[in-house]
Amino acid sequence: MRTLGTILLLATVGFSPFAKGSFEENAHRYMSGQDIIWSLSMFFDFSKNSNNKEVCTELRALNETLAGGNSPITGEPISPSPTQGTVLWITGCIDEYFASYNVLVGDPIRAKRLLGEEFYKSVTDFRLWQPWADVPENLQRALIRHMVAAFLGSDDVIKDFGFIQNPDDFREQLFIAAQTRTQATILQIVTLLAMNLSVRDEFLSY
Amino acid sequence: MIRFLVFGLALALSPQTFAAAQMVYVNGAPYVDFGDGRIAVVSHAMGKLNHGTIALRQIENTCDPGQVLANCKIHMEFASHTVGLRWSTHPDANKLNAYVKRIFTGSPNSYDIKDGFGIYSWFSSQVRNQWTASFNPDVIECDQYDWMKQLPANGHRRFLQSWTGETMSPNPETGVSENQTISGGFNIELEKNAAGTFTVAKIGSAVSGDGVPPYISNSVSTITFLANNNQQCQVAFEVSIEDIIKKVQAPHFYDIDPATEMPVRSPIELQNKFTTINGIRAILLPGANLKEYE
Amino acid sequence: MRTFKVLIAALIVALSLFANAGTPAQTETYFFKLSKSLRGVPPTLEEREEFAKAVQAGTAEAFLQKKTQEYLTDDKFTFKLKQKVDELLKLKQQREFDKTPKETGTSYDRLVSEVIQSNSSWDQLLLAKSYHYMPPIPWDFLSSYNEDAFFFIPNQGHVPSPSFEDYLVPDTKRVERHVAFAPDDLRIAGVVTTPRFFGRYVNTALNKNRRRAAAVFRVFLCDSMAPSVPATDNQGEKQDFDTIFPGHSSYTEDDIRRNTQADVHGQLMDCKSCHYKLDPLGQVFGFSAATLAPLPAAGSLTFKGQDGRAVAIPLRGLGDMAQALIQQTEYEKCQVRHFWRWYIGKDVPVSRHKEQELVKKFNDLGRKTQDFVSYLVSLPEFKERPQALTQDQLLARRAVNIMKNCNDCHQSQDKDPDIRNWDLTDLPYSQDADERKDAIRLLRKNLDIDHDGVGKKMPPKDSLWKLSQDDFAILRDWINRGAPDFDGNAQVSPKGTP
């Protein structure tokens, strides 16, 4: 997970630009820290993380400044919008989750939500640590299609949000980026997709 | 030989299990039965009785702003209070009556399961502890008593709706330290003495349940009352507890008077005694290693 | 791993895009917004499938209404709305969802949660006379409020004593307590008389419960004690003095001298603009220090209404205060604005007309919490996709933010009814073009916007609030661009255009 290729993968996959303008004056309402934990828990059971599970399942002193908490002295948010720290917090939890837990075996309900019925049924043949390159293209695309919809919503919702003008192009970018990772396993691609989608504005705000 | 070695190894490898400790009550007093012939009693004791003076310099009277401000003293008897766990039954006679010591295998660290930092006066006996009831009540002596002119009175008695003390401590919501009222009592009655001083005669209830007098403060002590014309009044004093602190810091202040040692009878004696409480809770936890208590 | 994550994080935060010019949110987007706003999570995959079927069957509207009601009864909705109330009261945020409210909830937490969960009237936050709470953890005294001491001391003079088991045995279960005061108990006023409120707004000899009074004004009347401009004529000054020192006409010279010594701070003209409100309400908290006092204390609810009326309601205790507050129009407007901010957004302006509509609906619905939220999320303002603002729209918002300070004084104190009724934050200023021109000209001249206020008439010299250079720059820019309204439409011709 330290290669330049991975960096490029995420860079080309796309980034989630936070809305311009101050949080108070403009556009998007971000979910609260507790909302982020609840929303992520639809796909990930962070209590299974071998490290730092509390930071991923509860708001505490360590993470509440990253998650939109208010200062009780002023009553105002400590930070008006998500920060680099927020991104690192979310992606760190997801990374640790996949590293420490076999979601296919341990949590079929979440696995299906995450991967989609079609890919979930087939991946037991492949197993998550098999090469991504061995997965038939139609299943690769099915996975990407499902994960985008699961995290961001349908094409109508995505377009309406305004950042992605053409969801098909967006999915194509994800597909191409995944193909460049010739040595990646299925698990690595799923991890990268999950990390990328879960920090997008379309997931974190409304 | 081999069988002995195997047996020895098995013994070394098997988890150490002890009979679990449990609470037992004898005449209402709590004991911890270690289940191995050792029993410890939760007990308390006083230190030597001390006499101290607290200086109160009046800084405000909202109902009589032109009043000449008074200088007062509170004469107080006080003592330290130690609560802890002592061996009452032990195969080693030398350990009897000693405090149970928590040791840590492989470490030189240890500590006695006891708390010795309480300071109590007669005031607290009115709202929680009974063991200070035999102390002389606190007495107020001022250079003049103009500030009392508007206190509701009945004969020698004067009535205060509240007498509270402030301390710098963290705000429970913001975490920022600030002066705040945390101690004192409601419905306090003062009794005028022949010498012209006033004794704190009765306390209705505590401001926060702790029984700390309102004049034990490093800041301001405030009396509020309804004057006879139904006006809400506030008289405030700046407090100096230098004399008390000097005496508390004297050597042997916390030394126990063995004659006063006795089992704790009321749970309220355990309030704020964290080392004792947490120590006993740890002993009672299932699987606690009771060998680590000497 | 960390390196690339930091790089990606930097990319994400560094880049930004404008959204397209706004279009009404489609129904499915509305569904997402409803779910996230009310209960903090997007619709589940199963719900999305149900929604798709409903759309096909032409029953999407009914489906969304059903989902709204379902979300409003979700524990997550209660938790989220309670968090907003915690923020409003500037309390420490509740962190653990699963353990609240029954296992760890203080009286305040339980009361707020129950008001929301049971769809009670919002007024119950003030009117409630009974509380549920878990007793303090005796062995962890420092981490929990002593609710027993707070509620029992005033009633019985002693605190329920924990048992030895409570202190010493690890698995002892705590049993919830319920304390109910008489419906006419003058000491009790909902969330105000809870340990968390008292703990947040502590009292000292100097403060005399003014901090608690200020919190009540801010939370329930949206009066944040903005500094006022003292009256500049004898008549106005006399009126102010009468309000603040009602007994002064009978003062002897000695009384005046003593009063002058008593509270110098409270005598100063600028200070009294807040103290005439704070001091009488602070008295109602009376002898309450860390816990409730055994007896209520008298005082009054005193302030100048937004319509200029003088409010001076004598109170026998905090119970009377609660009753008096909920009857004020300022309370109604303040509470609906809180809800608007929570569910529609701080950046979506509320016109006076809209505010009146909201207040009417709030009252028609019996001020019931869930019902009012249900109404808000059905409004077009909730359904609309928030859009990135144009420069003119942003300028309008920044300008009215400055004008709010003018409103605070003029609406409560100005003797000229035309000025008093002119809401400087409500754009456009008139439907009539000439009236708008006059209004902008008046602003420009009285503030001397073109010269950074050198020759200004407003705000007056002795006002505590003054415009900064940045403020003048914003107003100048705004006026030069035609004083655009919130939609970005110029109210007058921009500078340099005919």
pLDDT digits (tens, 9 = 90+) for C267-293: 555 577 788 899 999 999 987 877 888
Question: 3-class SS at B192?
Answer: strand
Return the number of other C-beta atoms located less than 10 Å from residue C441's C-beta.
12
Question: How many angstroms away from the CA of B178 is the closest CA of chain C?
Answer: 9
A25 band by pLDDT with thresholds 50, 70 and 90: very low
- Cross-chain residue pair A15–C389, CB shorter than 8 Å: no
Give the one of C159, C166, C297 whose C-beta lies nearest to B232's C-beta: C297
Most confident of A122-136, C130-144, C326-340: C326-340
Q: Quick: pLDDT tens for B31-43.
A: 999 999 999 999 9
Question: 3-class SS at B132?
Answer: coil
Q: Quick: pLDDT tens for C159-172.
A: 667 788 888 888 77
Chains near C (3 or more Cβ pairs under 8 Å): A, B
What is the rounded average pLDDT for all residues in chain B?
Answer: 85
What is residue C97's predicted lDDT score, i.e. its pLDDT? 58
Q: Which of C451, C396, C382 is nearest to C426 (CA)?
A: C396
How far apart (Å, rounded) are the C-alpha atoms in residues C259 and B138?
Answer: 34
The C residues from 346 to 405 touching A (CB cutoff 8 Å) are: 346-347, 385-389, 394, 397-398
Element (H, E) at A167: helix A167-180
Provide ipTM, 2 decimals.
Answer: 0.85
Give the one of C92, C158, C168 whose C-beta lies nearest to B277's C-beta: C168
Question: How many angstroms away from the CA of B174 is the closest CA of chain A?
Answer: 5
Q: Quick: pLDDT tens for C72-115.
A: 999 999 999 998 999 899 988 776 555 555 556 789 999 999 99
Q: What is the SS3 string spanning chain C?
A: CHHHHHHHHHHHHHCCCCCCCCCECCHHHHHHHHHHHHHCCCCCHHHHHHHHHHHHHCCHHHHHHHHHHHHHCCHHHHHHHHHHHHHHCCCCCCCCCCCCCCCCCCHHHHHHHHHHHCCCECCHHHHCCEEEECCCCHHHHHHCCCHHHHHHHHHHCCCCCCCHHHHHCCCCCCCCEEEECCCCCCCCCHHHHCHHHHHHCCCCCCCCCHHHHHHHHHHHHCCCCCCCCCCCCHHHHHHHHHHHCCCHHHCCHHHHHHHHHHCHHHHCHHHHHHHHHHHHHHHHHCCCCCCCCCCCCCEEEEEECCCCCEEEEEECCHHHHHHHHHCCHHHHHHHHHHHHHHHCCCCCCCCHHHHHHHHHHHHHCCCEHHHHHHHHCCCHHHHECCCCCCHHHHHHHHHHHHHHHHHHHHHHHCCCHHHHCCCCCCCCCCCCHHHHHHHHHHHHHHHCHHHCCCCCCCCCCCCCCCCCHHHHHHHHHHHHCCCCCCCCCCCCCCCCCC
Across B24-28, B86-90, C373-377, least confident range: B24-28
Question: Which of residues C26 and A152 earns the better pLDDT score?
Answer: A152
Give the one of A34, A74, A84 whose C-beta lies nearest to C13's C-beta: A84
Mean pLDDT of A137-150: 96
What is residue B253's predicted lDDT score, i.e. its pLDDT? 87
What is residue C332's predicted lDDT score, i.e. its pLDDT? 98
Mean pLDDT of A45-63: 81
Give the one of C164, C208, C293 whose C-beta lies nearest to B186's C-beta: C293
In degrees rounded to 5, what are phi and psi of residue C171? -100, 15
What is residue C261's predicted lDDT score, i.e. its pLDDT? 46
Mean pLDDT of A29-33: 82
Mean pLDDT of A34-56: 88
If interface means Cβ-Cβ distance under 8 Å, which residues of chain B face chain A? 173-176
Chains near B (3 or more Cβ pairs under 8 Å): A, C
CA torsion B267-B269-B271-B274 (nearest 10°) is -100
What is residue A20's predicted lDDT score, i.e. its pLDDT? 24
Residues of chain A neighbouring B174 (CB-CB closer than 8 A) = 72-73
Contact with chain B for residue A73, Cβ under 8 A:
yes
Question: Which of residues A37 and C234 earns the better pLDDT score?
Answer: A37
How far apart (Å, rounded) are the C-alpha atoms in residues C316 and C302?
Answer: 14
Question: 3-class SS at A159?
Answer: helix
Which residue in this structure is represented by tokens 């995505």?
A: A158
Across A138-142, B206-210, C317-321, C335-339, least confident range: B206-210
Q: Which of B147, B85, B143 is nearest to B116 (CA)?
A: B85
- Cross-chain residue pair B181–C204, CB shorter than 8 Å: yes
Question: Which of residues C357 and A160 earns the better pLDDT score?
Answer: C357
**pLDDT surpassing 90 at residue A83:** no
- Cross-chain residue pair C93–A64, CB shorter than 8 Å: yes
**pLDDT surpassing 60 at residue C42:** yes
**pLDDT surpassing 60 at residue C417:** yes
C13 band by pLDDT with thresholds 50, 70 and 90: very low
Question: What single-letter DSSP state applies at residue B258?
Answer: G
Question: How many angstroms away from the CA of B154 is the closest CA of chain C?
Answer: 19
**pLDDT surpassing 50 at residue A132:** yes
How far apart (Å, rounded) are the C-alpha atoms in residues C17 and C412?
Answer: 43
C230 band by pLDDT with thresholds 50, 70 and 90: very low
What is residue C12's predicted lDDT score, i.e. its pLDDT? 44
Angle (CA) A124 A126 A129, round 5°: 105
- Cross-chain residue pair C153–B186, CB shorter than 8 Å: yes
What is residue B251's predicted lDDT score, i.e. its pLDDT? 87
- Helices H / strands E in chain B, number of each: 4, 16
Across B204-208, C185-189, C347-351, least confident range: B204-208
Question: Which of residues C185 and A34 earns the better pLDDT score?
Answer: C185
Residue B54's contacts (CB-CB under 8 Å, 6 or more residues apart) are B73, B74, B76, B215, B216, B239, B240, B241, B243, B244
What is residue C102's predicted lDDT score, i.e. its pLDDT? 55
Residue B119's contacts (CB-CB under 8 Å, 6 or more residues apart) are B78, B79, B80, B81, B216, B244, B248
Q: Quick: pLDDT tens for B221-252.
A: 888 888 877 788 899 999 999 999 899 888 88
What is the rounded average pLDDT for all residues in chain C?
Answer: 82
A80 band by pLDDT with thresholds 50, 70 and 90: low
Residue C311's contacts (CB-CB under 8 Å, 6 or more residues apart) are C301, C302, C303, C304, C305, C328
- Cross-chain residue pair C287–B267, CB shorter than 8 Å: no
Does the N-terminal peptide bond of residue C280 adopt cis geometry, omega within 30 degrees of 0?
Answer: no
User: How many residues comprise chain A?
Assistant: 206
How far apart (Å, rounded) are the C-alpha atoms in residues C353 and C345?
Answer: 17
What is residue A102's predicted lDDT score, i.e. its pLDDT? 81
Which residue in this structure is represented by tokens 């880049």?
A: C15
**pLDDT surpassing 60 at residue C236:** no
What is residue A77's predicted lDDT score, i.e. its pLDDT? 67
**pLDDT surpassing 50 at residue B82:** yes
**pLDDT surpassing 90 at residue B181:** no
Question: Which of residues C231 and A161 earns the better pLDDT score?
Answer: A161
- Cross-chain residue pair C154–B205, CB shorter than 8 Å: yes
- Cross-chain residue pair B23–C169, CB shorter than 8 Å: yes
Q: Quick: pLDDT tens for C452-492.
A: 989 888 888 777 678 888 889 999 999 999 999 888 889 99
Mutate to test the interface with A, among B174, B177, B178 (most CBs of A within 10 A): B174
What is residue C254's predicted lDDT score, i.e. its pLDDT? 52
**pLDDT surpassing 90 at residue B25:** yes
Contact with chain A for residue C202, Cβ under 8 A:
no
- Cross-chain residue pair B166–C205, CB shorter than 8 Å: yes
A10 band by pLDDT with thresholds 50, 70 and 90: very low
Question: 3-class SS at B26?
Answer: strand
Question: Which of residues C12 and B192 earns the better pLDDT score?
Answer: B192
What is residue C435's predicted lDDT score, i.e. its pLDDT? 86
Mean pLDDT of A138-158: 95
Nearest-CA residue of chain B relative to A74?
B174
Question: How many angstroms away from the CA of A72 is the closest CA of chain B?
Answer: 5
**pLDDT surpassing 90 at residue C41:** yes
* Torsion sign (Cα): C455, C459, C464, C468: negative
